[in-house]
Amino acid sequence: MKAFLIFPLIFAALNLVAQTEWSKSSNWKIYKVPGPAVFKIPIDSLRRTNSRPLQKDSLMSYLGTCTILPDSIHPLWMGGWVATYESSGKMHKIQISAYGGFFYDQSAARYYQIPVALKDDWMTYIKQIISLL
């Protein structure tokens, strides 16, 4: 019985950590990178790529409620976009799914899921910014 109580507490603590790190991030940008290059393009090459800023307050309304997907789950990709953010003086790269409401943070080696109730708004927000590139 105690094991059933401990697991939800650990899961909640991990998600709280995920939310806290986003609040410390800054300088969010999204890039128009073609197809498979989303996974291959190095961060230093992104500095020479067309980008648009992402508003932190808008992002936090989505990222502040996202959850970490278990390590055993590796979502399938059907296209996406590259974004970067700064944290602790370093630039970090994420890949945003073009359809699934999830993203992958390379520096943390973790997948994150946007809540289902916010998925459509999240996708609309990202697509609007991409359309400006």
Distances (CA, A) of 22 to 54, 81, 131: 13, 19, 24
Among 31-35, 93-97, 116-120, 125-129, the range scoring the smallest mean pLDDT is 31-35
Question: What pLDDT, on the 0 to 100 scale, is given for residue 69?
Answer: 94
The yes-or-no verdict on residue 5 having pLDDT over 90 is: no
Question: What pLDDT, on the 0 to 100 scale, is given for residue 34?
Answer: 80
Element (H, E) at 117: helix 116-131
Query: How many distinct structural domains can be found in the chain?
Result: 1
Contacts of 1 (CB under 8 A, 6+ apart): none
The whole domain housing 52 covers: 2-131
Query: Per-residue confidence at 12, pLDDT binned at 50, 70, 90?
Result: very low
**Rg of the Cα atoms in the chain:** 15
The yes-or-no verdict on residue 17 having pLDDT over 60 is: no
Question: 79-124: per-residue pLDDT in tens?
Answer: 899 999 999 999 999 999 998 899 999 989 999 999 999 999 999 9
Question: 36-83: per-residue pLDDT in tens?
Answer: 888 889 998 998 889 999 999 999 999 999 999 999 988 888 889 999
- Bridge partners (DSSP) listed for residue 102: 113
